[in-house]
Amino acid sequence: MRKVMVVLLLLGVMVSAAAGQTGGDRSAQIEQLGRFIEEDTYAIIHVDVQKVNIKAIFDKCVEVGQWEEQSDYYQQFQEFSQKIEQLIYTFRQTGGRGLYAIFSGADFPGFFVLVDTSEEADFSRLSRFIENTNQELNVVDEDEFDQYRSGRFLVMGLAETIGRVKTIKSATRPEVGAALAAADEATVQLLFTPSADQRRVLEEMLPLMYEELETMPVGAIIKGMQWL
pLDDT, one tens digit per residue, over 97-126 is 999 999 999 999 999 999 999 989 999 999
* pTM listed for this prediction: 0.77
Whether the pLDDT of residue 168 is over 90: the answer is yes
DSSP track, the chain: -HHHHHHHHHHHHTT-------HHHHHHHHHHHGGG--TTEEEEEEEEGGG--HHHHHHHHHHHHT--TTSHHHHHHHHHHHHHHHHHHHHHHTTEEEEEEEEEGGGTT--EEEEEE-TT--HHHHHHHHHHHHHHHT-S-GGGEEEEEETTEEEEEEHHHHHHHTT------HHHHHHHHHTTT-SEEEEE---HHHHHHHHHH-SBS-GGGTTSBTHHHHTT-S--
pLDDT band at 207 (very low <50, low <70, confident <90, very high): low
Q: How far apart are CA 42 and CA 50, in angstroms?
A: 25
Q: How far apart are CA 134 and CA 126, in angstroms?
A: 12
Whether 226 contacts 193, CB under 8 Å: yes
Whether the pLDDT of residue 80 is over 60: the answer is yes
Give residue limits of the domains in the chain: 2-193, 194-228
Residue 219: phi and psi, rounded to 5, are: -55, -35
